[in-house]
Every structure is written in structure tokens, then in C-alpha cells.
Chain A
């Protein structure tokens, strides 16, 4: 890859038009377009669940679009597999590392075309020789023979970029490359990406951090709810507010929530809590009947705060009081059984539900102990009597209580993962990203449900990176950044005013 001069009018290298991709219960991409030129860094933005990852998977042959066209250098292409996308010069560096830790840097770069001598013996010397130029090109300060396991996360990322370049990638997709590396490393990465731009590579840069977009990118495409909110806009002609508006949009006309009694006495008092994952000392108070919003971008430390509260992550210091009494919660079970916490995980499929099991079993899992009679056994009728009111209250759409949860829509799955805590009589509910990947209508129903629960005296810590959601539902809003609470705002429910106030804390 020699330094070619940059052409005056950059050619359009990849053009995507009218892409549609549907999953059970969700339209992930709807009429999505993207135009990518050689020698540009193109930001792809959007909130969680907006469809960025799906689009990347469509571009790299992991998913086949249901509709729409992909044109590469002007001619239509279809990628049947990741392999064929790679062969066409499209590489991706995922958020998660895709390297074999025990193998060396050079082996990872040349993984699927390891040079051999006779008898299929690996030619180690050739491996290292062939990998070296790519290692140097990304400025990786490590010998080709270093095992990848000994590298830092940022260095591993460079190995992946080197691998992509060695595959003659002319289009490189970077999915949140800065999520897990230090600011210093980010600076270095940006220099490398700048070099690649000069070498006429077309780059797609996915990030949640707007500063980075303004610093690095030439053009931007924004997705919202699976559609284009902005297509191929010149970054220089945008300001931060406009970009934020593209990303989060205006809350559509949504019904006004009914008045709710004001929050009452404190239920959960947190003072100087430090988790083991580098949180600053965190302090806040949650009242009975209150929705306390916890806003922050991905990686701000919100979920680890939640997990520290419920004993999943060991707290290093600080004091937590529940209903006035000092607690030392050591396990999740204790948080649930002794202090009536409930935790609705952001990852309902992995952490919230047993997908193969029935709605009944998933809902009553929290109350089996309470239901048992003398001989330890529980009867189905008792079980159903105990959960039916909750299932009805939440309006879970299911054919029967015996239906397996995996067959429900995302919104109904989410209702079940909330229902089990209501059946379990949880008083303090920590709800993490309740509406990610859930359609607008069900989202609204979930909002009303959360509101209702608070009105009926539950205390709710609502974790969300969805700004309209936080502003709509919260009594107060905590803003989190870099594992610290950087603001506590009384909520006026006025969107413009509040979003400005929140963004001010984040920048």
C-alpha cells in the first residue's frame, strides 16, 4: 500500500440503499442508506438499538438484508457470508476482540493463510516476515512473535487493524473502537486512522462519543429506530446540538402521564459507595414512590453501580442504607430476600430469563420458596393463582402460562422479567435499559407501567441511555460519566431544557 495521491473528487466506494432487515417482532433496519467514499472517515451514529450493529452485520455478510441494494464501486453485490465480504475488501474490527490469545501477533494477522514449507509444515520465519510490514504500518510496538494474550486491549485492536489491512481491506468498519481504551491510546488510534484515510481507505467509525466524531470524522450518518435520521451529512456543517437532535430525536406525541403522588421517605441511601471496577465514591438517595433516573452513555458505569448495589459486584467501600438500616449485602440472594431488591437486567436473554422455560416458571421463580407448603412442594394451581394478577396487571401477551418465554416478543419478554419481581414483592426495583430493542408502542406501555409502579409506592432506579425516556419518567435525574455521578437534576419534564442541562454535565 504505497502513498497514492488523494484524488480531488473522492470516488463513492460503497453505496447502500433501501436496506431492510427484520427480526422476530422487530424491524431492525428500515429503508437505510449509507454512502461511503474512498479516503473519508464516516461516522455511523445512533443510540442503543438504533440499528448500527445490524447495519454493520449486513455490510459484512453476517446478515442478508430482506430488501435493498449494496453497490461496491458502482456494481451491485451480495455477500452470502463474512468470507465473501472479506474477499471484496470489507473488513470489520468488532467491539469484542476476535483474536486467538495463545497465538502470536503474526499468526493472528495471517491466520487463514499461514505460509507453509513442504508437508504442510508452518514456515514460522515466513509468517513473521510477512506480518512485519503490517505491524509496522499500524505502529504496533510489539514483536511478531509476541503472544496476543500479552498485549493491551489497544494493542490487540491494532493487531486487528493490521489483519484487516493485510487482507487488502479497502473499507474498514470500526465498531466502537474507543470504548475500552485510554484517552492516550485513543489519540494514537486516531493518528493511525488518519494515515489510513490518506491511503484512500474508506473508514466507518461507530462511536457514542460525539467529541470523537467532531475530532476525527468527515461525514456522518445517523440511525434512529432503524431508519436514517441523517444521511451523509458533512460534519463541518453540523454542531453538537444538531447531532444530538438527530440521534435522540424529539419525543413523538406521547400521552401525558397521569399525576403521581410525590416521593415519600428515603428507602435507599447510598453514601460513598465504591465498586471494585474503579467507580468514584457514589452517593444518592432513592425515595419511596420515586423514579430516580440514572442517565449516562454506555460505559459510564451505570450497570456496574447497579450490580454493586445488589451484591453482584463486591463493594470496596461506602455505606448503603435500606429503610434506614445499614446493610452489608454480600450476595444477590441476600439483596433479594432480606432487602426486597429486584433487578431487571439490561440483558434479559442472558441474565433475566430462562428462554426455554414457561412464562409460569419464569414469573414464579422468585416466589417458589414462599409458595411451598409443609412437604416442600408447590402446586401448579397455587403457583398460577400467585402470578396471574401480575401477568394481567402487566398485560403480558401470551397464549398460556405454559408458553415458553423464548417465543414471546421482546416487549412481552421484558414484561415477564419485570413481572417476576412484582410477583416477588420487590420494593426497590433497579431497571436497567428497559426499552432497548423494543418498539415504540410497547415502549410506551412499559413507561406507563414503570410510572404506575412508582405511583403505587415502589422505589425505582431507572438506568437508561435513552434521554427522552429518562426525562419522561424520572422525578430526579442523576447524570453519570466515567464512573462518577456528575450531576443531580430535579426534572422539569421539559425536554429541551432538561436535555441541555444533561448534555452540559456530560461535556
Chain B
């Protein structure tokens, strides 16, 4: 029975996987265009970018905090990247590296503010999101940087059959993140701090390092997502990231993340983002009103949060059962 408890997050993942597969089957039967190479490529490309956005939120949620500035970091990085290349003619690797460093710095700023002030990360990152977005607007006056180098926009269009090449970046980063959180000391410490910060400190763990790391990773993933969207659009759009708040939370929450921290369901987040892109895609394919997509995703998040609550009370019930009658609990397994 306790095995059931332990596998709650995989349970969520399994459920999502079934829904995802069913969704794909339904879509491919009902609308054969779904399986067209071009549709798969476009869907996969959006998914690659939004998944990074969701992981950027998940890593901070696993610490028991939030990052509302993911979109504005992504946007700022995209326009700094494109500005450096277009306006100052810097070589691509230099500009991209500068962009990633900037993303990490933005994340570290978030982390330091949260650590020093102990103010709720919601309020702080809401503030920094306006700061980052403001720098973006101040530089661009809302005008995109056009004509970014060809190799960048080519990367945005590159594909292998139906598979977007940029998906490889996302897959590698997701795997690295999973490895980091399960096998690397700092990753384990980060989850422990998210699970119970007081107990973690009273076990001698470095709280500040864990906090800064989570936010830095979040900033880096946001920067990568911004860079990839810039490549896809073929220009440094100042509006990049403006709509990322919803998907950033939707992925981890539907994927089974505990809002109080301590869990990092990467597989669940991936499958949740697949589900969201299926819904998105399905609605487009049946030419539904695109404005209702947001309604559906909103309803999904609410459903996931309520379910998450139910899971918690499940745990409490299970605890009670396990204590009072072990044989009964055993037969439930």
C-alpha cells in the first residue's frame, strides 16, 4: 500500500500518458491532417519551446517558490541576442552565450532577492518580471530586431522528417535536469530544501546555494526558450514570452508537482505539456474558436489542482488506515 503512496507521481504520469495516447489516436482518426509532416513539425516545435518554459517553472516550484518572470526573461534574452547580432554584428556564439549568461543572471537576481528579503517569491518575481520586460521595451521601443543571422533562423526551421531539430535541445535539457535532480548532490539538496526548508537547514544543507541554483536554472531555461522562439520567428520580437505565465504553471501542476515544494515531476510535466499541445492542436484542426483554448487550459489547471488536493487527503486517509488495521491495508494492495 505504501508502494502506492510512493508511486503517486508516476501514477499521475501514467494517467497523463494514457490520455495523451488516446488524444493522439482520436486526433489522427478524426483529422488525418494531424499526422501530416508539417503539422507534426509545427506542433513539436511549439511543444519544444513551451516545455522548457514549463520546466523553468517546475524547478522553482520544486523549491516551494514561483517564478513569474520566466516570460520576461525569455523576451529580454531574445532581444539582447538579436540586438547584439543585428545592431552590433557580434558573432552568433558570442551573442548566444551572452544571452544565456543574462538569463542566469536574471535568475540569480530573483534567487538573491527571495533569499535576502524572505519576501514571497510571487511578489518579488512579479516585480522583476516588470523590470526585465521594462528593459526590453526601453531598448526596443517595441520594435523587433529583424534580419537575424541565417544560421539562427535556419535552426528554427530545421527538421528531420516531422521532427524539429530544436526538440533535441529540449530533450537533452530535460534529461540533464532529471539526472541533476536525482543523482547530483546539489539537485538532491534543492529538493530537500523544497520538501522542508527547516529540516534541510537543520541537517546542515546550504539553503542559499539551493535557492540560487533553482532560480539560476529557471533563468537559463527561460533564456533557452526565448532564444528558440527567436529562431523560430526569425526575428527578435519584444513580445516573446508575453504569454508564458499560464503554460509555465499548467505543465508542472497538471504534471503532479506539489505546490508546497519537494517534488519535481519531469515526466509528468512533459506529458502534461504534450496534452496541452494536443488540445491546442485539436482545437485548431477542428477549427474551433482559438479563444476557447485558454478556457480549456484554465479549466484543466483547476481540475489538476483540485485533484492534487484530493491526492493529499488520500494520503492522510491511507496513513490512518495503515496505522489502524495493517491486514486490511495489506489486502487493499
Contacts and interface: CB of A to CB of B under 8 A. Distances in A.
B209 to A, nearest CB: 10
A354 B185 contact: no
B186 A407 contact: no
B320 interface: yes
B2 A404 contact: yes
B201 interface: yes
Nearest to A310: B202
Contact of A420 (B189, B196, B203, B324): B203
Contacts of B196: 350, 353-355
Contact of A351 (B192, B199, B318, B323): B199
B318 A407 contact: yes
Interface of A: 22-25, 312, 332-333, 335-337, 343, 345, 350-358, 361, 365-366, 368-369, 371-372, 376-380, 399-400, 402-404, 406-407, 409, 420, 424
Given A24-B322, A357-B195, A403 B6 contact: yes
5 contacts: A24-B319, A24-B324, A335-B204, A357-B191, A379-B183
B202 A24 contact: no
A356 B323 contact: no
A354 B200 contact: yes
Given A354-B199, A361-B192, A368-B188, 19 more contacts: A23-B323, A24-B320, A332-B201, A332-B204, A333-B204, A336-B204, A343-B202, A345-B202, A352-B202, A354-B196, A354-B262, A355-B195, A355-B196, A371-B185, A378-B185, A404-B6, A406-B319, A407-B5, A407-B319
Give the 3 A-B CB pairs with smallest separation, nearest first.
A24-B323, A336-B204, A354-B195
B315 interface: yes
A357 B262 contact: yes
A357 B6 contact: no
B324 A378 contact: no
Contact of A356 (B184, B189, B195, B322): B195
Interface of B: 2-3, 5-6, 179, 183-186, 188-189, 191-192, 195-196, 198-206, 258, 262-263, 315, 318-320, 322-324
Contacts of A378: 183-185, 188
Contacts of B185: 368-369, 371-372, 376-378
A409 B5 CA distance: 15
B266 to A, nearest CB: 16
Nearest to A336: B204
A179 B121 CA distance: 35
A406 B8 CA distance: 14
A366 B198 contact: no
Contact of A366 (B204, B319, B324): B204
B186 A376 contact: yes
B12 to A, nearest CB: 14
B197 to A, nearest CB: 10
Contacts, number: 99
Contacts of B262: 354, 356-357
Contacts of B186: 376
A25 B329 CA distance: 14
A23 to B, nearest CB: 7
Contacts of B6: 358, 402-404
A148 to B, nearest CB: 24
Contact of B2 (A355, A356, A368, A407): A407
Nearest to A369: B185
B183 A377 contact: yes
Chief secondary structure at chain B's binding surface: helix
Interface centre among B186, B202, B258, B319 (most CB of A within 10 A): B202
Contacts of A22: 324
B259 to A, nearest CB: 12
A390 B140 CA distance: 61
Contacts of A345: 202
A399 B6 CA distance: 11
Interface centre among A336, A343, A355, A356 (most CB of B within 10 A): A356
B238 to A, nearest CB: 38
B199 A352 contact: yes
Contacts of A380: 183
Given A354-B262, A356-B263, A369-B185, A399 B202 contact: no
Nearest to A377: B183
Contact of B198 (A351, A361, A420): A351
Given A354-B199, A372-B185, A378-B183, A365 B192 contact: yes
A18 B2 CA distance: 33
Nearest to A368: B185
A351 B200 CA distance: 8
A377 B322 contact: no
Contacts of B322: 24, 407
Interface centre among B198, B206, B320 (most CB of A within 10 A): B198
Contacts of A406: 315, 319
B199 A353 contact: yes
A279 B291 CA distance: 65
A350 B198 contact: yes
B202 A351 contact: yes
Interface centre among A312, A355, A407 (most CB of B within 10 A): A407
B258 A356 contact: yes
Contacts of B2: 399, 403-404, 407
Contacts of B199: 350-354
Contact of B323 (A25, A332, A336, A352): A25
B186 to A, nearest CB: 7
Contacts of A403: 2-3, 5-6
A84 B6 CA distance: 38
Contacts of A369: 185
Contacts of B205: 333, 365
A404 B5 contact: yes
Contacts of A366: 203-204
Contacts of A400: 3
Nearest to A337: B204
A372 B2 CA distance: 29
A401 to B, nearest CB: 11
Contacts of A353: 196, 199
B189 A368 contact: yes
A369 B191 CA distance: 15
Interface centre among A337, A365, A424 (most CB of B within 10 A): A365
Nearest to B180: A377
Contacts of A402: 6
A422 to B, nearest CB: 13
B195 A377 contact: no
A377 B184 contact: yes
A318 to B, nearest CB: 22
B258 A333 contact: no
Contacts of A409: 323
A424 B202 CA distance: 13
B73 to A, nearest CB: 26
Contacts of A372: 184-185
A467 B107 CA distance: 52
Contacts of B200: 354, 365
